[in-house]
Amino acid sequence: MVGPCFVSFFFLVNLLSFSQTLDASHCSIKGFPLVKNISELPQGNYGRGGLSHMTVAGSLLHGLKEVEVWLQTFAPGSHTPIHRHSCEEVFVVLKGSGTLYLASSSYKYPGKPEEHFIFSNSTFHIPVNDVHQVWNTNEHEDLQMLAIISRPPVKVFIYEDWFMPHTAAKLKFPYYWDEQCLQETQKDEL
């Protein structure tokens, strides 16, 4: 009589850990070990061709309050939107090369940006609210970067071009990769 009882107990435990794994692949750290294998973390393109984004450590995903870390890969020719956010951002280029376009936010609109060559093992930071765009301008290689932002989740203002007034830039919040998890967090709180 002990046998079947054990069987169903282990079946139940397996079922529970299975559903935790499912949760973990979306909006929760539950079920992931403390030390995670980056090759096994979920990534996606969030409707943006040529992009692969992974939230390595995040606010909505992992409950971080002060910082968030992304791993992003841009195929040749792909790029971020022209945008700004009121948080600090640090980049470390892991692979490839490209161009950083950077304009200050001190005038009414960004204006013609400065162009900076970025390359493997280079690093740069974006001052709070400065309008910027990162572009994989290398036809032959993916551009892979770690991005670290403060004050997550990020609130991004998007520009159609460099001459759009700051006041006309469109708020995108939650940002693409935060959309699903923000909804689930709010559901949890209800």
Binding residues (CB under 6 A) for ligand NAG: these are: 37, 39-40, 121
Count CB-CB contacts under 10 A for residue 113.
18
Q: What is the DSSP track for 123-158?
A: EEEE-TT-EEEEE---TTS-EEEEEEEESSSP-EEE
> With respect to ligand NAG, which residue has the nearer C-beta, 37 or 167?
37
Smallest distance from ligand NAG to CB 120, Å: 6
- Is 85 annotated in a binding site? The answer is yes
> With respect to ligand NAG, which residue has the nearer C-beta, 40 or 188?
40
- Is 132 annotated in a binding site? The answer is yes
- Is 26 annotated in a binding site? The answer is no
Torsion angle, alpha carbons of 133, 127, 38, 28, to 10: -100
- Is 140 annotated in a binding site? The answer is no
Smallest distance from ligand NAG to CB 148, Å: 17
Smallest distance from ligand NAG to CB 22, Å: 18
> With respect to ligand NAG, which residue has the nearer C-beta, 74 or 175?
74
Beta strands in 40-119 (DSSP E): 51-57, 67-74, 82-85, 89-95, 97-103, 114-119
As annotated, the binding site includes: 83, 85, 89, 132
As annotated, the binding site for Zn(2+) includes: 83, 85, 89, 132
